[in-house]
Structure 1
Amino acid sequence: MKSFFSAVEVTAGNSLFHVVVENDEISTQIIKHLNSFKGGRVTFIPLDRVKAPRVTYPQNSDVLFLLKKVLARTVVC
């Protein structure tokens, strides 16, 4: 499994650190809060704007372990 970590991290790149929020309103509120104390940059992904096809992922426990390991630093608001 560890042999795939680097490949997944390189492929995903900085998108591993994007913040997923429910909608634009939430991202706007967070940006205003960050700007109030010069909090830096953040990339948001509002779920109401995501137009992605449905994908069926394998249910193999090895794959689930890998996904959990790669996405361990992901936060959903």
Structure 2
Amino acid sequence: MKGKLNSLKNIALSKTWASFINQNHPYSLMHWSIGGAQAEEKDVWLLQDEVTFEVQEFPTIDEAIDWISNNMDDITDVLG
């Protein structure tokens, strides 16, 4: 699992996003620096459920990876 998390982090850092599968469910980890109609500036990492589009924000990628490590235990694919 640690190898998958390292791959996820490295791909997300190099491309500003990465997708992965956990228990046959798709997610994306992405950096958001500007978004919304008003070009709202943020510097956060988003973990998005690609089915429900529910999003969680994390101040750093390390906090996002820690959360994923503690809450998702069946990552099978990491896509960049």
TM over 0.5: no
- Greater share of helix: 1
Instruction: Please state which band the TM-score falls in when normalised by the shorter chain.
Output: under 0.3
Q: TM-score, normalised by structure 2?
A: 0.27
Task: State which structure, 1 or 2, has the greater radius of gyration over its C-alpha atoms.
Answer: 1
- Greater share of strand: 2
Q: Greater RCO between the two (CA within 8 Å, min separation 6)? A: 1
